[in-house]
Amino acid sequence: MKRFSFLSALVVLVFLLALTACGGSAVPSGSTTGNSVTPTASPSTAGTTLGTTSTTISGKTVMLLTDNKGMTLYYFKPDTTTTAACTTGCISTWPPLLSRTSSGPTSATSLPGQLTVQTNANGQQIEYNGHPLYSYSGDTSPGQTNGEGIGKQWFVATTDLAMNTESTNATPTSPPYKRGY
């Protein structure tokens, strides 16, 4: 019985250390469901179209970006477009959104920001306003925002996400959209 308890504690410790390496926490602060986290090692890829959906986060209605399967997209605060901070072990929990096409991503709706593709340690990673985009392995169905606020470093990518001022090498896939109001 003691051996079982020791092994259980060891498994939990390894899981917590893996989440901590990515700025995570064992309990997502912005969870909308009680789903368990099942990390996946494969990166998320986008065909040609990203989408948007409206949701409520911390009592505020926001328009967030989604991949071609409707899954919520996130950005990692420490990222710059010249250096992706989330690589190697981190990508099992936060798979990078990678472009499969040479022409880059497009959006199903007009976006106030700019979609770009940046070659970094993860590959041809899709960015919005200079922020590399990721999905979260803890979101198991479209519309979930379980990764919001994890480690005070991971946030949903909303359509009004400010431009990353550290952006220097991104290749635009379309001209910047300007608001008409």
Q: What is the pLDDT along the chain (181 residues), one digit of tens a residue?
A: 554 444 444 444 333 334 334 444 333 333 333 222 233 334 555 455 899 999 999 999 999 999 999 999 999 999 875 677 888 888 999 999 998 776 778 888 889 999 998 888 888 899 999 999 999 999 999 999 999 999 999 999 999 999 987 644 444 443 333 322 2
Angle at 89 between CA 74 and CA 63, to 5 degrees: 5
Can you give the residue range of the structural domain that contains 149? 2-172
pTM (predicted TM-score): 0.68
Distance CA 130, CA 134 (A): 13
Q: What is the pLDDT of residue 44?
A: 55
Does residue 178 sit within a domain?
no
C-alpha distances (whole Å) from 126 to each of 10, 34, 41, 134, 154 are: 36, 29, 18, 9, 16
Q: What is the pLDDT of residue 80?
A: 73
Residue whose C-alpha is closest to residue 94's, from 17, 22, 16, 21: 22
The total number of structural domains that make up the chain: 1
Does residue 27 sit within a domain?
yes
Q: Are 156 and 74 in contact (CB under 8 A)?
A: yes
Q: What is the pLDDT of residue 130?
A: 92
Residue whose C-alpha is closest to residue 16's, from 150, 149, 141: 150
Does residue 144 sit within a domain?
yes
C-alpha distances (whole Å) from 101 to each of 115, 125, 151, 159, 177 are: 14, 11, 32, 22, 21
Does residue 104 sit within a domain?
yes
Does residue 42 sit within a domain?
yes
Q: Which two tokens stand for residue 170?
A: 């991104």
Does residue 105 sit within a domain?
yes
Does residue 181 sit within a domain?
no
Does residue 140 sit within a domain?
yes
Map residue 176 onto helix, strand or coil: coil
